[in-house]
Amino acid sequence: QKPLRTLRDTIDLIDRNILLLLAERQGIVESIGTTKRRTRKKIADPRRERQILKKQLPLARDLGVKEADATALFKTIFAMARRVQRRGKRT
């Protein structure tokens, strides 16, 4: 069995990678927000959010992630994306 420190170091690396991917996603979301504002489209897109969940939840289940947990995570990500799109920047 791996020592606790080794396991925690692995978790720290995974957490860093999650943040790197989230930052990359937010950069793309920023561009989407610019396009939506320029074309006067609504920021919130519930249909798109449902499409993402429909596509990603089966993968979550296959990976052993509870559907409720994956849904909660994506809803948080969607809320972050809407905030970024409204203000046009991440900070």
How does pLDDT run across 50-74, given as a tens digit for each residue? 999 999 999 999 999 999 999 999 9
Q: What is the pLDDT of residue 61?
A: 98
Into how many domains does the chain fold?
1
* Residue 53 structural domain: 4-87
Distance CA 54, CA 21 (A): 21
Low-confidence ranges of the chain (pLDDT < 70): 89-91
Q: What is the pLDDT of residue 2?
A: 82
Distance CA 17, CA 11 (A): 10
Q: What is the pLDDT of residue 89?
A: 59
Q: What is the pLDDT of residue 90?
A: 56
Q: The domain that contains 9 carries what CATH number?
A: 1.20.59.10
Q: What is the pLDDT of residue 62?
A: 99
Q: pTM (2 decimals)?
A: 0.88
Q: What is the pLDDT of residue 88?
A: 73
